[in-house]
Amino acid sequence: MEQHIGIRNTKSIIFKSVIVFFAFAITLPLMLVLLYIIKQGITQVNWTFLTHVPAPPGEKGGGIANALMGSVIMVAMASIVAVPIGIACGIYLSENPRTKLTYYAGLAVDILQGVPSIVVGIVIYVWIVKPFGGFSAIAGSIALALMMMPIIIRSTEQTLKLLPDSLKEAALSLGVPYHRVILKVIVPCGFAGILSGITLSIARIIGETAPLLFTALGNNYFSLNITGQMESLPHVIFNYATSPYDDWHDLAWGASFILLLFVLTLNIATKLLTRKWKIQL
C-alpha cells in the first residue's frame, strides 16, 4: 500500500491536469472566433454602417440598416407568437407530469427541437410562402417562432418543476383559484428561469439563416412591410460573404460583428438579470 502512494498521487495529478487542460481548451475556439471577428469587423462599424442600406456594387460605403431592422422586427414578431405559447405549454407540462398529452406533447417538443432549421424553412415555404403568394417577413417570423418554442417550453417546464408543491398549496389554501395560483405565484416565482429560456431562444434564432432563406428571403432596400421580403443579419452576412466584391466582404464582417455583439449582450444581460431576479426559496 505505502510504496504505491507516490504512483497513486501522480495518477491523480495527471488526471487533474487532463481535465483542467480540456476545460481550458474549450474556451480557446470561442476566444479565437471572437478575436478574429472583432478584428475584422470592428473597423467596419460606424454611424453610416448602422444607418444606411447597402450601396450598389462598386460604390463605397453603405450599411446594414435594413438587415438590422429586419432582424429586430422578425425576432420581435417570432417572440410575440412563441413566448405565450411556449410558456403555456411549459406550464401544462410541469403541472401535469403524468398525462398522455404530456407524454406526446413532450415528445413533440423534443422532436421539434431536433428538426434541422433548413427543414423548418422548407415546411414554412410550402405552407405559408407558396399559398400566400410570396416571400414575407411574416413567414420568416413563423419559422423562427417554431424554432424558439421548444427552448421556451422546456426551460419553463424545468423551472416550474423545481418549485416546491408547498408554494402552490399555500396559495390554494387561501382560496386562490387555480389560474391565479399559476399566474400570480408559480410563474412569478419561476420568472428568472423563464426569462433566461426566452433570451436563450432569441440568442439561438437571431443567427439562423436557413429558415429565412425560404421565407423572408432578403431585401436590398429598407423595408418595414411585414408582408413583403425582408433582410436579416444572418442573410446579409451569407449574401455578402459569398459575393465577389471586397467591399461587400467587409460589410459581412461588420454585420458578423454586430450579430455577435447582440448575442453576447443578450447572454450577459440574461446572466445578470436572472441573478438579480432569482427568488430565494
Partner 1 sequence: MENTIVKAENYNAYFGDNHVVKDVNISINKNEVIAVMGPSGCGKTTFLRGINRMHELIPGATAKGKILLDGENVYDMNAIYVRYKIGMVFQRPNPFPNLSIYENVVAGYMLNGLKLSKADKDVIVERSLTSAALWKEVKDSLHKKGTFLSGGQQQRLCIARAIAMQPELILFDEPTSALDPISTSSVENLFHELKANYTLIIVTHNMQQASRVSDKTAFFYMGELVEYDDTKQMFTAPKDERTQNYITGRFS
For helices 65-95 and 191-206, give the axis angle rounded to 10 degrees. 140
94 to 113: interface string for partner 1, x by CB under 8 A: ----x---------------
Supply the DSSP symbol for 53.
P
182 to 221: interface string for partner 1, x by CB under 8 A: --xx--xx-x------------------------------
Q: What are phi and psi of 168, to 5 degrees?
A: -70, -40
241 to 270: interface string for partner 1, x by CB under 8 A: ------------------------------
- Nearest-approach distance from CB 164 to partner 1, in angstroms: 7
CB 121 within 8 A of CB 135: no
> Which residue of 166, 244, 246, 275 would you call a contact of partner 1, by CB under 8 A?
166
Radius of gyration for the alpha carbons in the chain, expressed in angstroms and rounded: 24
149 binds partner 1 (CB under 8 A): no
175 binds partner 1 (CB under 8 A): yes
Part of the chain binding partner 1 (CB under 8 A), chosen from 4-12, 53-61, 169-177, 196-204: 169-177
170 binds partner 1 (CB under 8 A): yes
> Which residue of 76, 113, 164, 272 would you call a contact of partner 1, by CB under 8 A?
164
CB 126 within 8 A of CB 143: no
177 binds partner 1 (CB under 8 A): yes
Nearest alpha carbon to residue 54 among 249, 261, 262, 263: 249
Q: How far apart are CA 16 and CA 115, in angstroms?
A: 38
Angle, vertex CA 207, rays to CA 108 and CA 86, nearest 5: 35
CB 63 within 8 A of CB 52: yes
169 binds partner 1 (CB under 8 A): yes
> Which residue of 172, 260, 261, 266 would you call a contact of partner 1, by CB under 8 A?
172
> Which residue of 69, 167, 195, 266 would you call a contact of partner 1, by CB under 8 A?
167
Q: How far apart are CA 63 and CA 216, in angstroms?
A: 19
Helix (H, G, I), strand (E, B) or coil at 54: strand
**How many residues at the interface with partner 1, by CB under 8 A?**
23
Q: What residue ranges bind partner 1 (CB under 8 A)?
A: 98, 164, 166-167, 169-177, 180-181, 184-185, 188-189, 191, 279-281
